[in-house]
Structure 1
Amino acid sequence: MNRPARNLLLLLFGSAVAIATATGTYLNYVRPVMFWFLAASAVVIVVLAVSGMAADIGEARADEDFEDDIGFAGTLTPVAHRPHDDAHGHAHGSGRVGWVLLVPVLLLLFCAPPALDPGAAQRTVVVAATTDESGRAYPPLPPGVAPHIALNDFQNRAVSDTAGTLDRDVSMTAYVTHIDGRPFLARVMIWCCVADARPIDIEVAGTPALPPDGGWVTAVVRLVPGTATRARHYRPIVRLVSDHPVPQPSPPYDS
């Protein structure tokens, strides 16, 4: 791959990152905290690509002026191939592997992959972030009727909270899925990006009239005490109080 091609690839890559950041598509792959890092990276990459292209154009014009000067002088000998031409991006040979980088760039520009969903990994057993069975006292939940809580926080409290903060109705937004025929509310959690994504799920008791698999709901639930045990892989059971369908949240991952 010669230098002009590398600069073009850099420009496409920087543009893809900038578009994903501006449109919010980046939330399908990383946490919101990465916004400014991605924005700054996109700017730097685009500036490098444009400056490289400008340098290539300037060198091409200098080459033309050099050849015009030789021709004007009336030389009868052919102009020798100058050794620095290879450094200007006219080298031949290796570098074909670099074109492979064009594939993810085009994918991100024209058909960005969607966010992960818990159904894609519903057989994976995920232990809560806190599995200290000796427990600890969690801070109280926000006041009000059925305060909203993250699925990961709910699971952690169900496993090891000694303050009884889940002895009340809470609400959560989650993805509906079924595992071995049993209904679950699930969410994917990421610590940094989708490379470390893990599904988290809680079982819903009985046979509630939930939307089909793949649907998102905001559900009001009540923990069934003593169900988030090691034998159950720390998956708590809840009783469904109410639910209503909602669109996929943004960001789609649990906090």
Structure 2
Amino acid sequence: MRRETQNILLVLLGGALLKIGITGDYLQYVKPAQLPWVLAGGGVMVALGAVAILRDIRAHARQPAGLEANTAHHGHHHPARSAWLLLLPVLAVFLVAPPALGADSVARTEARAPAPASAAFPPLPGGAVVPLSLTEFVTRAGWDSGGSLNGKTVQLTGFVTHAHGSILLARMVITCCAADAYPLTVRLTGPATPAYPDDTWLRVTGQAVPGTASSANRYTPDLTVTAVDRITQPPDPYED
């Protein structure tokens, strides 16, 4: 790859990192805590690429005319056109941000519930409806022998996916970035169960069915649905 291509690629890659950091699209790939590193990495790449380009321009301006013509002649016979193909993924980030992991990722990855550090769960807060993350709901359903979910009406947020004839509410969990993501799933049951296509984001209200989350079904508890609201994808689509 020629130096000019390397420098331009470096600037564009750094610019792509800055762009997804500023617009918030970085949340499709990494946790919110990684934003300073995304911006810092993008800024360093842009700076290094810009310095290299300026240095090459100055060196080219100082180059003797005869040597310049000879270099251009050799460059004409040995173009590095294929190297420019490496710019296509970077340009794609500028033009179209890939979506967050969704129903397809759930189908290709085994669901699981993170084992809690302790089997003792504090009681849920009072109120007619208790908002919970899917992580907390699935963990309590699978590991809480005290039955803290029993009789409680909860509100969960996630996207729709389908498996084995069931409608699931899912959320991807990441530790660092989308590369280590795994799904949590809840099986929606009852007459109010919604019929939506995959990747539709919902806010679902209902009650857990005791004893339905086990290692046999990858800790996927049943939720008897009482109400459903269709929503837009939240800015941060992942849980941690």
User: Structure 1 residues 145 and 93, CA, compared in 2 at 3 Å: closer, same or farther?
Assistant: farther
Counterpart for residue 73 of structure 1: none
Distance 1:80 1:39 in 2: 40
Larger radius of gyration: 1
Distance 2:235 2:27 in 1: 7
Distance 2:225 2:159 in 1: 14
Distance 2:108 2:190 in 1: 20
Distance 2:2 2:53 in 1: 12
3-state SS of 1:238 partner: strand
Counterpart for residue 176 of structure 1: 160
> Map of 1:110-149 to 2, 5 A cutoff?
110-122=95-107, 124-130=109-115, 136-149=119-132
User: Structure 1 residues 41 and 123, CA, compared in 2 at 3 Å: closer, same or farther?
Assistant: closer
Displacement of 1:157 = 1.1
* CA displacement 1:214-248 (0-9 Å, x = unmatched): 32111112111111122222211111122211111
Counterpart for residue 52 of structure 2: 52
* CA displacement 1:36-95 (0-9 Å, x = unmatched): 1000011101110111111112112222xx55xxxxxxxxxxx568xxx8xxxx798697
Letter of the 1:189 counterpart: V
> Map of 1:2-81 to 2, 5 A cutoff?
2-63=2-63, 66-67=64-65
Counterpart for residue 225 of structure 1: 210
Runs of 4+ in 1 over 4 A off after TM superposition: 90-98
Letter of the 1:153 counterpart: E
Letter of the 1:103 counterpart: L
| Structure 2: stretches of 5+ with no match in the other structure | none
3-state SS of 2:14 partner: helix
Contact 1:2/1:92, CA 8 A, preserved across alignment: no
Displacement of 1:190 = 1.8
Q: Which of 187, 193, 208 is the matching residue for 2:171?
A: 187
Q: TM-score, normalised on structure 2?
A: 0.86
User: Structure 1 residues 28 and 197, CA, compared in 2 at 3 Å: closer, same or farther?
Assistant: same
Q: In percent, how many aligned pairs have the same letter? A: 34
Query: CA-atom RMSD, angstroms?
Result: 2.8
User: Structure 1 residues 181 and 207, CA, compared in 2 at 3 Å: closer, same or farther?
Assistant: farther
Letter of the 2:98 counterpart: P
Letter of the 2:87 counterpart: L
Distance 2:30 2:110 in 1: 22
Q: Which of 182, 200, 221 is the matching residue for 1:198?
A: 182
3-state SS of 2:161 partner: strand
3-state SS of 1:130 partner: coil
Distance 2:209 2:200 in 1: 24
* CA displacement 1:108-150 (0-9 Å, x = unmatched): 1112211111244336431211179xx7012343443322211
| Structure 1: stretches of 5+ with no match in the other structure | 68-78
3-state SS of 1:247 partner: coil
Letter of the 1:138 counterpart: F
3-state SS of 2:60 partner: helix
Contact 1:216/1:245, CA 8 A, preserved across alignment: yes
Displacement of 1:98 = 4.6
